Amino acid sequence: MYSIPHLDIPHLDRVSGHVQLPGSKSISNRVLLLCALSSGRTQVHDLLDSDDTQVMLSALEKLGCVIERSPSSLHITGIGDRKTDPKELHEIFLGNAGTAMRPLCAALALRGVKAHLTGIARMYERPIQDLVDALRQIGADIEYLGNPGFPPLMLNPSEIQIHRPIQVRGDVSSQFLTALLLALPLVSEHQSIEVQVNGVLISKPYVQITLNLLDNFGVKVINHDWASFTIAKGSRYLAPKEVYVEADASSASYFIAASALSNGTDPLRIEGLGLNSIQGDIRFVEAAQSMGVNIHAGPNWLEIHPSKSTLKGIELDCNHIPDAAMTLCALALYATGPTTLTNIGSWRVKETDRIQAMVNECSKLGAKVEFGEDWIRVFPIEPSKWRPASIHTYDDHRMAMCFALAAFNPDQVNVRIEDPRCVGKTFPQFFETLFSIAHSNAHQIPVICIDGPTASGKGTLANRVAQALGYAYLDSGALYRLTGLAATQAGIPLEPNQESRIAELISKASIAFEGEQIWLNGQEVSEEIRTEQMGMNASQISSFKAVRAALLDVQRNARQLPGLVADGRDMGSVIFPDSTLKIFLTADALTRAKRRHKQLISKGISANIDVLHLDLLARDERDMSRKEAPLKPSEDALLLDNTLMSIEESVEWVLEQWSKQTALLKLQKG
């Protein structure tokens, strides 16, 4: 996941391949709660792992559920057969997860649990009064600890008595009704219970998910045309042994849209979700089709074909797909004619005021947008009118995911997504997944090259800059070290007359980088290649022309979305001559010797500063005077002498140069 202040997405051109999407948030949190309220142990497969499910899981653990995690599934043992101690206070933090706050409030009130329910500041702006009012009708004792009508809440155990139908409003959020329906089977053993909905029920598909899952857990609810619901007397939860969570249909909407916006010809296949889904947002498929998106679908798969040229604006009542409807706004930017989405008043009380947020950010990109209390109209942006923009995401995962789609814009302007980490709410690996199926033309993927003499700290600097920008990191020196190691292991002398053998050997080797780890032919060699001797060997063989040629493609193939920081000798001159920023890092030889000395000592390797100093001078001399790729700054490189600078200062300096460069690029493009 990208835990960086912002992520710059270069122009995205094509999409292809297939994706397996994470589990549905709505299903995951409902299933977890139902398992918790049942007795016995249930295995849950394909559960979403995100901020919202994490807060639910920690809450359930605090309430006494046993959670056993394994890589492929999770076992949860419920508390259905346990007595509650009414005096024990439970402190429960629920972040900004509405799908945890509402149902837990209802369930804990009905189980007679004493609990203090808290969350982040935005949670305290999200209404809960309609649910609390409904629960108070049957005797629940719930206090508002902050603003009346909003969390935080204190639940005090009380006697629950149901004498008449429970009234609940259904026109602000369907989660209030869902919360009641999920919790009421706790008290339906001796009586049937009726819930009457006041106002026209919104987001019915989400209530349908609730009904389907209750059915899965042995509770039958009679739906009287969405106006009232009856839970039969004697209903109680019966957890199935196993539950499978479908892929998230709202998350699928971004991939459907991305594939529709592709300039290529290949389709994208989405696995784990099809037209038989119980999620309401599956009907995004119809909405996208009505905009002209070419989608084929089966029971457990969707296949989307590029459709940019046929996209047209639509007018649609989106009450049935409130979350996925946001993605229609992103598609609308590319359509012919305006797109009007109505009946989306619930957007105002979601993670942020989504109507206002959508208006603000679409406008930044250059779109004309009209809106009202519960509708929005987005006009397409004509080619040549797109503006580079830094998209504010309002701590709303859907804003970040929707606006990533702006990176397909025909003007090829960069799109900056602020606080990309917010996707963690429902889809922590969203950007990684997007970059695994999206392609850019190589020259559009930014590369920062950092070169400099040995022990100048270029590796550390490059690595840190890569982390700060969310870019990949290429340690090209490691490739030469690997080559030296491979040759030594194969018994080939590191002599000039052996260069073609060494080159052939390395071009056939399997090389893999995984985070800090480096693998050669299936063997982890990260530590082994770091010795001084390996550095000397690398220095020697890196002057062989054939070896350099053999490593060319491996290095060029490291260019990947959303960008690359590459360190090493000829990065800026030979490997990535078109790179956006080239830095030549240096420091005086004695300082470098001291740094290397410190590094070796910290690893428990004995070393002498004077010897290291002389070695470095000799290595510099050899690297500078050699014929192939001599050590010298490329003409367009910026010089950074970091003799008196800390690593943090050097990173800051490079990031500043990078911001200047990208600002310049934006001006050129704008």
Which of 361, 570 has the CB closer to ligand DC? 570
In order of 208, 277, 295, 316, 501, the CA distances from 286 in angstroms are 18, 13, 9, 11, 59
Relative to beta strand 369-371, strand 6-9 is unpaired
Q: Which stretch binds ligand DC (CB under 6 A): 52-60, 132-140, 564-572, 638-646?
A: 564-572
Residue 62 and residue 55 in contact, taking contact as beta carbons nearer than 8 Å: no
The span from the CA of 609 to the CA of 596, in Å, is 8
Relative to beta strand 369-371, strand 375-378 is antiparallel
Which of 386, 480 has the CB closer to ligand DC? 480
The yes or no reply on residue 477 touching ligand DC (CB under 6 A) is yes
Least distance from ligand DC to the Cβ atom of residue 441, Å: 24
What Rg value do the Cα atoms of the chain yield, rounded? 29
Helix, coil or strand: residue 20: strand
Given 8, 323, 419, 567, the catalytic residue: 323
Least distance from ligand DC to the Cβ atom of residue 504, Å: 19
Choosing from 259, 339, 352, 542, the residue that interacts with ligand DC (CB under 6 A) is 542
Sheet of 564-567, strands arranged across = 472-475, 564-567, 447-451, 581-586, 638-641
Sheet of 315-317, strands arranged across = 315-317, 339-342, 375-378, 369-371
Choosing from 476, 573, 579, 642, the residue that interacts with ligand DC (CB under 6 A) is 476
Choosing from 320, 481, 559, 596, the residue that interacts with ligand DC (CB under 6 A) is 481
Least distance from ligand DC to the Cβ atom of residue 481, Å: 6
Q: Which stretch binds ligand DC (CB under 6 A): 91-99, 350-358, 470-478, 637-645?
A: 470-478
Relative to beta strand 114-118, strand 141-144 is unpaired
Which of 354, 569 has the CB closer to ligand DC? 569
Choosing from 379, 394, 480, 544, the residue that interacts with ligand DC (CB under 6 A) is 480
Least distance from ligand DC to the Cβ atom of residue 22, Å: 38
The yes or no reply on residue 334 touching ligand DC (CB under 6 A) is no
Which of 628, 652 has the CB closer to ligand DC? 628
| Residue matched to tokens 């996208």 | 288
Q: Which stretch binds ligand DC (CB under 6 A): 256-264, 384-392, 465-473, 476-484?
A: 476-484
Catalytic (active site) residue 281: no
Give the CA count within 13 Å in the CB-facing half-sphere of 475: 23
Which of 320, 596 has the CB closer to ligand DC? 596
Q: Which stretch binds ligand DC (CB under 6 A): 58-66, 103-111, 296-304, 472-480?
A: 472-480
In order of 102, 193, 221, 266, 439, the CA distances from 188 in angstroms are 19, 7, 11, 53, 54
Which residue type does 52 have? D
CA angle 101–255–580, rounded 5-degree value: 110
CB-based contacts of 475: which residues, under 8 Å, 6+ apart?
A: 459, 462, 463, 513, 518, 567, 568
Site for ligand DC in 605-664 (CB under 6 A): 623, 629
Which of 70, 625 has the CB closer to ligand DC? 625
**Sign (positive/negative) of CA torsion 531, 533, 534, 538?**
positive
Least distance from ligand DC to the Cβ atom of residue 572, Å: 10
Point out the residue whose Cβ comes nearest to ligand DC. 477
Site for ligand DC in 500-539 (CB under 6 A): 535, 538-539
Site for ligand DC in 565-604 (CB under 6 A): 568-570
Alpha helices in 170-299 (DSSP H): 175-183, 204-216, 249-260, 284-290
Which of 178, 483 has the CB closer to ligand DC? 483
What is the set of active-site residues? 323
Chain residues binding ligand DC by CB under 6 A are 454, 476-478, 480-481, 535, 538-539, 542, 568-570, 623, 629
